[in-house]
Amino acid sequence: MRRAVIVGAGIGGLALAIRLQSGGVDTIVVEARDKPGGCAYFWERDGFTFDAGPTVITAPDALRELWRLSGRDIGEDVKLVPVSPFYRLSWPDGTRFDYSNDDTQLRAEIARLNPHDVNGYRRFLGYSAGVYRDAYLGMGAVPFLDFGSMARAAPALIRHQAWRSVYSMVSGYIRDEKLRQALSFHTLLVGGNPMRTSAIYALIHKLERDSGVWWPEGGTNRLVAGMVALFERLGGVLRLGDPVTAIDTLGDRVTGVRTSSGEEIQADAVASNADLVHSYRDLLKGSRTAQRTCASLLGKRYSPSLFLVHFGVRGTFPDIPHHNVLFGPRYRGLLADIFDTGVLPDDLSIYLHHPSATDPGMAPEGHSTFYALAPVPHLGKFPADWDDLAPILEERLLAEIERRLIPGLRGKIVTRVAYAPPDFARDLHAHLGSGFGLEPTLLQSGWFRAHHRDDAIANLYFVGAGTHPGAGIPAVVAGARATAGLMLGEVK
Ligand SMILES: Cc1cc2nc3c(=O)[nH]c(=O)nc-3n(C[C@H](O)[C@H](O)[C@H](O)COP(=O)(O)OP(=O)(O)OC[C@H]3O[C@@H](n4cnc5c(N)ncnc54)[C@H](O)[C@@H]3O)c2cc1C
């Protein structure tokens, strides 16, 4: 028997599926929703394409590798185009900072904010390169199954002062508060508070600098579609719109899955790409050890949720780049509100996505596609009535963008749709509506995170944001390599 079932067609699930199928394992992916992608779902409305989640595509080589496994080229299915600047960051006082991997331009931008920091940036880059080499290239695809593996990682973690936060580490090199924000906000893209997330996540800076920021023509949904096309060409089966209702166990083995349509699919191994709490609590109800794991998971810290407004607008905006961050007046206090106190702040920081800047095909001719995203406390910290709150927050986000970036915006909107924390909980079974799963703190990383293989059930595996190395496309693709390594070693 050489058959595996994967629960969920998120990017991690699909990366694992491609690896297994390329390795000769008959693989069936069972997805609850009508389209694959998970966080990278999408909608088409009135001629606009709205990607639901990931937009900043980094580490393209990790994606290319999925095609190379079977001697193919990613270009057959996905056209990746470079994005520059990577981000335009702006503050309420009108300060702007364009962030890219053009060294001369970046240094000039830093010098414009604070000339003393050019030298500090050079030293920060050295730090970032070291953690990138040791933590991402060296440990990104390592399955941390036992404490020994964590102990082996300890010297590198100590060398890079992993107990310090990204913000603290950046502040050791950089004096200017805005530049500190510019070089530390990236952890928010993977659900981490820069004030608390381990300094090893400063590796994201080097990762972006070396591999660039990319955009799949037609949207992130085309990357997902390309992964599905590759998987199906290899002979894999994707089943959509059929939620898994149970992962069946017999003793300390899984035997397969059952789905809501009544299908029973037997398998030698099952890998869950679904939310960890949902997997253990709801799908493994019959397993006592799984329920114990679930109890421990419920005690962990979860990353915030997100509030998004997708909107299609009349007109084009060549002066607004693809990726924009509109910082609010507060940074540390705002993060504490969202991550700790569970307060919905008045002064939001906004990520504004403008894909039609790179790819006009994302909107009808003469129109533009945007989404605005604000991190908000998850449902455990802030159990609000979002039916009432969402329209108010939607107006606030749009008003802020209108004030700072697009005068008269609300009069130009042709179509719009908001997406709130309960939507994450309902559509993705995301525990507490979290946007990224377990918060990436040091004590929830590596061996301390959910393992790629269950400790007690030998042929039950996990892939995706809940496992090492965490959330974000490069991370779930690297994690899929770790899970596939374990599965191919055992299933074959
Ligand atoms: C708004 C947003 C913006 C982001 N931006 C970026 C970015 O710019 N760059 C970046 O790198 N990362 C970004 N991320 C993070 C990144 O998108 C995620 O970490 C990553 O896509 C998660 O992939 P995953 O493999 O863990 O699966 P998920 O995307 O979580 O998918 C899990 C899948 O399992 C399915 N499922 C759940 N339960 C069942 C069941 N019972 N039966 C069958 N199927 C089930 C779900 O429907 C879903 O399709 C963003 C995330 C969000 C939410």
The residue nearest atom 4 of ligand 1, judged by CA position, is 54
pTM: 0.97
The residue nearest atom 12 of ligand 1, judged by CA position, is 472
The residue nearest atom 37 of ligand 1, judged by CA position, is 274
Note the pLDDT of residue 140: 85
Q: Determine whether the shortest distance from the Cβ of 272 to ligand 1 is under 6 A.
A: no
Using the predicted structure, report yes or no on whether residue 24 has a pLDDT greater than 50. yes
What is the best residue among 16, 39, 350 to mutate for testing ligand 1's pocket, by most ligand atoms within 8 Å of CB? 39
Note the pLDDT of residue 150: 86
pLDDT in tens, 263-309: 999 999 999 999 999 999 999 999 999 999 999 999 999 999 999 99
Closest CA to 64 of 355, 487, 482, 473: 473
Which atom of ligand 1 approaches the CA of 473 most closely? 11
Span 374-401, average pLDDT: 96
Q: Determine whether the shortest distance from the Cβ of 213 to ligand 1 is under 6 A.
A: no
Residue 201: strand, helix, or coil: helix
Q: Determine whether the shortest distance from the Cβ of 428 to ligand 1 is under 6 A.
A: yes
d(C-alpha 120, C-alpha 125), whole Å: 9
The position carrying tokens 């331009």 is 105
Q: Are 231 and 15 a contacting pair, CB within 8 Å?
A: no
User: In angstroms, what is the span from residue 70 Cα to ligand 1's centroid?
Assistant: 25
The residue nearest atom 2 of ligand 1, judged by CA position, is 53
Span 403-414, average pLDDT: 97
Q: Determine whether the shortest distance from the Cβ of 56 to ligand 1 is under 6 A.
A: yes
Note the pLDDT of residue 74: 98
The residue nearest atom 6 of ligand 1, judged by CA position, is 54
Which atom of ligand 1 approaches the CA of 243 most closely? 42
Q: Determine whether the shortest distance from the Cβ of 274 to ligand 1 is under 6 A.
A: yes
CB atoms within 10 A of CB 408: 8
Q: Determine whether the shortest distance from the Cβ of 374 to ligand 1 is under 6 A.
A: no
pLDDT in tens, 40-88: 999 999 999 999 999 999 999 999 999 999 999 999 999 999 999 999 9
d(C-alpha 230, C-alpha 251), whole Å: 35
Q: Determine whether the shortest distance from the Cβ of 477 to ligand 1 is under 6 A.
A: no
d(C-alpha 110, C-alpha 102), whole Å: 12
User: In angstroms, what is the span from residue 52 Cα to ligand 1's centroid?
Assistant: 10
Q: Kindly tell me the sign of the dihedral angle through the C-alpha atoms of 273, 277, 269, 481.
A: positive
Closest CA to 306 of 379, 406, 205: 379
pLDDT band per the 50, 70, 90 thresholds, residue 149:
confident
User: In angstroms, what is the span from residue 11 Cα to ligand 1's centroid?
Assistant: 7
Q: Determine whether the shortest distance from the Cβ of 465 to ligand 1 is under 6 A.
A: yes
Span 135-152, average pLDDT: 88
